[in-house]
Amino acid sequence: MVPQSDAPFRVVFVCTGNICRSPMAEVVFRWFADQAGLGDRVVSTSAGTGEWHVGERADSRTLAALERHGFDGSKHRAKQFTLDDFDRNDLIVALDRSHERALTEWSRTSADTDKVSLLLPFDARADGVLDVPDPYYGGPEMFDDVLGMIESASRALFRQLEPAIRR
């Protein structure tokens, strides 16, 4: 999970349509890297398992939640995960077990499979919860709750990776 030589560490966050959860994780993780002075050593992206929203901005409720919490998701455009993403990334982070299953099924090699991980288990405060719930059918408060979960888990993930990224 550590990049070779001077190449940046590349992580892609994956959810269903790439308009709610994974854009949140992409933006938050990038923010942690920037705050640690490692923005040039980390590439944080996101993708969806489906193609429904390719090219679209993040859901307006996602953008509003990010903005309320001091993050900017305005540059996001949805894309679909492809097999090339296994090659491009050092870590592939699924937002729930359905995404993890899909990514594992799409894996071509054991090296691909080894890159796939769930987000919440990085956070001890998740208390055994594995899936970040999909806020799509919820209101603004659910988007805020989901962002809080993602922020906490992303902080824990970044802290775990930071020493290797600094090298």
Number of structural domains found in the chain: 1
In the annotation, is 15 catalytic?
Answer: yes
**Is 89 a member of any domain?**
yes
d(CA 19, CA 136): 9
Q: Mean pLDDT in each 10-residue stretch from start to end of the chain (167 residues)?
A: 73 98 98 97 98 96 98 97 98 98 98 98 95 96 98 98 93
Is there a domain that residue 1 lies in? no
What distance in Å separates the CA atoms of residue 124 and residue 167, rounded to the nearest whole number? 25
Which DSSP state fits 6?
T
SS3 content of the chain, % helix, strand, coil (to 5): 50, 15, 40
pTM of the model: 0.96
Residue 2 resides in a domain: no
Q: What is the DSSP letter of 82?
A: -
Q: Indicate which residue of 15, 85, 112, 123 is catalytic.
A: 15
118: left (phi > 0), else alpha (psi -120 to 50), else beta?
beta
> Is 3 within the bounds of a domain?
no
Domain at 16, CATH number: 3.40.50.2300
Q: Is 33 inside a domain boundary?
A: yes
Catalytic-labelled residue, pool 10, 41, 57, 134: 134
What integer pLDDT is reported at residue 9 of this predicted model?
A: 97
Give me 93's structure tokens: 């982070």
Question: Is the CB of residue 64 less than 8 Å from the CB of residue 140?
Answer: yes
What's the confidence (pLDDT) of residue 117? 98
- The range of the structural domain enclosing residue 126 comes to 9-166
Residue 76 forms part of a structural domain: yes
Is 20 a catalytic site residue?
A: no
- The answer to whether 145 is a known catalytic residue is no
